[in-house]
C-alpha cells in the first residue's frame, strides 16, 4: 500500500503538496477551499506589521512559461489577519504563517503573533524580489539571515522555515546560515527577479518595472537549488517553483525535497492540481515499487 504522507520537522502532512504563499492564502474562505481540494498544507500570504496596499497596477502579467508579478506585499497587517485565522478552525491540515519584516525584531514579533493565533509553523519570507527593504536586502546576507532565524526561534516553539532566493548569492551559504540560526527546514525558492518590456509602449509593463518570475520557466533553477541545499544541509528542504504536474513533484523529491509548494499552477490548472499531483505520484510510486516518499527522496543525489 502506497503512503504519500510526509514529515517536515515535526509537521506531519498527509501528502507532500502545499499551497505556496501569496496564492489564495489571505482569507479564511480561500484557505478552506484549498484545504477541501486535497492540499497537504497551506502557507498564508506574507503578513507584515501594518496593512499595506502594495503597488499600483499593473502588478502582474502573464509571460513566457509563467507569471511576472510585483504586488509589493499587499496584506491586511498582523492585527487584522487574526480575524481570518479565527475562522479556519475546521481546517484539518497544517497552516503555515508567512511573515515579512524589516529586521529580526519585527520577524520575532510577527512569528510570536502567528503562534498565538494557533498556526502550526512559520515561513520567513526573506526573499521577496520586489519589496524594497523587506526582501533580498535581508535574505542576501548570511549574517542577517542567521540572526533573524535565531531571534524568531527564541520566541516561538513551532517549526520555522526560512524561504530563500536564488537571487541572493550562493543559496547554500544562505541555507547554512539559516541552519546555524536553528531553522527547522528551508523553502526554496521565491520568484526570480525579472522584467517584461512592452515593445509598443517601449517601457517595462509592471508599475514597479522589476517583478518576480514564477511558473514553469523557473523550475530548473529551483530544482538545482533544492538539489544543492539537500546535499549540504541536514534539515528538510521544501521545493517550490514551477510545480504543475506529478512529474514535477517527483523530480523535486528525487532532488531531495520532502514536499513541494504550488503557486502559479493554481491559476493555470485550478484547485484540482493538488489531488491530481497526488494521484499521479501514487501511480508512479506503485509502478516503481516505492511505498513511501522517503523511499525515493534524494535518490538523484547519490
Ligand atoms: C501573485 C503572486 C504572489 C506571491 N506572493 C508571495 C508572498 O506574499 N510571499 C512569498 O513568500 N511568496 C510569494 N509568491 C511567490 C510564491 O510563493 C512562489 O515562491 C513562486 O511563485 C514560485 O512558485 P510557483 O512557480 O509554483 O508559482 C507569490 C507569487 C505570485 C505568483
Q: Model confidence over 246-284: pLDDT tens digits?
A: 999 999 999 999 999 999 999 999 999 999 999 999 999
What is the β-pairing status of strands 60-63 and 192-194? unpaired
- Which atom of ligand 1 is nearest to 218's Cα? 25
C-alpha–C-alpha distance, residues 210 and 244, integer Å: 24
- pLDDT tens string 190-218: 999 999 999 999 999 999 999 999 999 99
Q: Is the pLDDT of residue 74 over 90?
A: yes
- pLDDT tens string 11-32: 999 999 999 999 998 999 999 9
Q: What is the mean pLDDT of residues 81-88?
A: 96
Instruction: Please say if 128 is a catalytic residue.
Output: yes
Q: Which of 16, 23, 125 to mutate to test the pocket of ligand 1 (most atoms within 8 A of CB)?
A: 23
pLDDT for position 1: 85
**pLDDT band with cut points at 50, 70 and 90 for residue 137:** confident
Out of 65, 128, 258, 278, which one is annotated catalytic?
128
pLDDT for position 135: 78
Residue in the structure block whose three cell numbers are 511576472: 68
C-alpha–C-alpha distance, residues 240 and 171, integer Å: 14
pLDDT for position 133: 79
Whether residue 82 is preceded by a cis peptide bond, meaning omega within 30 degrees of 0, is no
Q: Is the pLDDT of residue 131 over 90?
A: no
C-alpha–C-alpha distance, residues 111 and 47, integer Å: 10
Pick from 134, 229, 148: nearest CA to 181: 148
Q: What is the mean pLDDT of residues 85-100?
A: 96
What are the structural domains, with CATH classification, of the chain? 6-301 (3.20.20.70)
pLDDT for position 195: 97
Contacts of 40 (CB under 8 A, 6+ apart): 6, 13, 14, 15, 16, 17, 18, 93, 94, 259, 274
Can you read off the three cell numbers belonging to residue 242?
514551477
**pLDDT band with cut points at 50, 70 and 90 for residue 82:** very high
Residue 292 is given by DSSP the state B
Q: Is the pLDDT of residue 134 over 90?
A: no
C-alpha–C-alpha distance, residues 154 and 69, integer Å: 34
Q: Is the pLDDT of residue 4 over 90?
A: yes
C-alpha–C-alpha distance, residues 54 and 43, integer Å: 19
pLDDT for position 16: 98
Q: Could you tell me if 223 and 248 are in contact, meaning their C-beta atoms sit under 8 angstroms apart?
A: no
Pick from 173, 109, 169: nearest CA to 143: 173
Please tell me the residue having the least CA distance from ligand 1 atom 29.
22
C-alpha–C-alpha distance, residues 255 and 297, integer Å: 7
Residue 216 beta carbon below 6 angstroms from any ligand 1 atom: no
Q: Which of 58, 191, 241 to mutate to test the pocket of ligand 1 (most atoms within 8 A of CB)?
A: 191
Pick from 263, 256, 204, 207: nearest CA to 235: 256
C-alpha–C-alpha distance, residues 151 and 49, integer Å: 16
Q: Can you say how many angstroms the Cα of residue 80 is from the centroid of all Cα atoms in its chain?
A: 22
Percentage, residues of the chain above pLDDT 70: 100
Q: What angle do CA 274, 126, 112 make, to 5 degrees?
A: 85
Amino acid at each position: 500500500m502506497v503512503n504519500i504522507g510526509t514529515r517536515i520537522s515535526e509537521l506531519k502532512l498527509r501528502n507532500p503538496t502545499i499551497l505556496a504563499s501569496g496564492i489564495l492564502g489571505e482569507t479564511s474562505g480561500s484557505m478552506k477551499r484549498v484545504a477541501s481540494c486535497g492540499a497537504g498544507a497551506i502557507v498564508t500570504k506574507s503578513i507584515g506589521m501594518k496593512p499595506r496596499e502594495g503597488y499600483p497596477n499593473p502588478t502582474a502579467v502573464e509571460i513566457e512559461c509563467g507569471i511576472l508579478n510585483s504586488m509589493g506585499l499587499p496584506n491586511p497587517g498582523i492585527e487584522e489577519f487574526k480575524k481570518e485565522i479565527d475562522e479556519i478552525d475546521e481546517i484539518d491540515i497544517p497552516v503555515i504563517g508567512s511573515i515579512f519584516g524589516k529586521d529580526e525584531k519585527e520577524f520575532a514579533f510577527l512569528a510570536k503573533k502567528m503562534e498565538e493565533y494557533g498556526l502550526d509553523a512559520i515561513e520567513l519570507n526573506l526573499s521577496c524580489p520586489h519589496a524594497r527593504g523587506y526582501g533580498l536586502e535581508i535574505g542576501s546576507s548570511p549574517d542577517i539571515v542567521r540572526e533573524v532565524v535565531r531571534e524568531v526561534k527564541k520566541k516561538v516553539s513551532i517549526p520555522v522555515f526560512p524561504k530563500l532566493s536564488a537571487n541572493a548569492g550562493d543559496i547554500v551559504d544562505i541555507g547554512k546560515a539559516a541552519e546555524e540560526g536553528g531553522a527547522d527546514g528551508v523553502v526554496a525558492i521565491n520568484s526570480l527577479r525579472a522584467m517584461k518590456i512592452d515593445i509598443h509602449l517601449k517601457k517595462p509593463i509592471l508599475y514597479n518595472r522589476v517583478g518576480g518570475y514564477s511558473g514553469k520557466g523557473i523550475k530548473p533553477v529551483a530544482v538545482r537549488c533544492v538539489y544543492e541545499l539537500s546535499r549540504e544541509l541536514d534539515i528538510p528542504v521544501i521545493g517550490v517553483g514551477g510545480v504543475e504536474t506529478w512529474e514535477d513533484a517527483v523530480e523535486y523529491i528525487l532532488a531531495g525535497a520532502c514536499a513541494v509548494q504550488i503557486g502559479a499552477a493554481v491559476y493555470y490548472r485550478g484547485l484540482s492540481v493538488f489531488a491530481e499531483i497526488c494521484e499521479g505520484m501514487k501511480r508512479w510510486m506503485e509502478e516503481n515499487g516505492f511505498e513511501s516518499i522517503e523511499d525515493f527522496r534524494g535518490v538523484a543525489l547519490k
